[in-house]
Amino acid sequence: MIDIDNRAELDVSFSMIKKIATDMSSKEIELLICNKEQMRSINTAQRGIDSATDVLSFPYESSPLAPLGSIVICADYVRSVASDLGHRADDEVAILFIHGVLHLLGFDHESDSGQMHTKELELIRRYNLPLSLIDRAN
């Protein structure tokens, strides 16, 4: 189950996002699509980093009844990266969403031994998406 708040009015279909959310977790996930200024404000308030970024994940309490967490995606990054890499904005949102959900599920590519990267690649292939976020960073 997913609750989508598209504050940036990003023109994408969320049908794949809904499928991915259902496939990855039975818990509710909140997805906020915002602009660069809003993302910068959230990143500053939550992480003390005064800059925008492409995706943020905020897990909720470990309770069986609690939602899995919230994911914030920056529409300005989606548009720019999709254009630069020559794929659809829908695909870019899906890539960022998968990355965010994996973080909500406890994966951390900055401290693991490649487990998040392996899982991300598996999901990218399953949904026939372009290059994964971790692969782009490498």
Of 72, 101, 100, 86, residue with least CA distance to 131: 86
Instruction: Give the range of the structural domain holding residue 11, as residue numbers without chain letter.
Output: 2-137
3-state secondary structure (DSSP) of residue 49: coil
What domain count does the chain have? 1
Tracing tokens 């023109």 back to the chain, one arrives at: 11
The reported pLDDT for the residue numbered 66 is 85
The reported pLDDT for the residue numbered 61 is 77
In this prediction the pTM is 0.91
For residue 123, what is the domain's CATH number?
3.40.390.30
The reported pLDDT for the residue numbered 132 is 66
Tracing tokens 């959900």 back to the chain, one arrives at: 101
pLDDT profile of the chain (138 residues), mean per 10: 93 94 94 97 96 94 83 97 93 96 90 88 94 68
**26: which DSSP letter?**
S
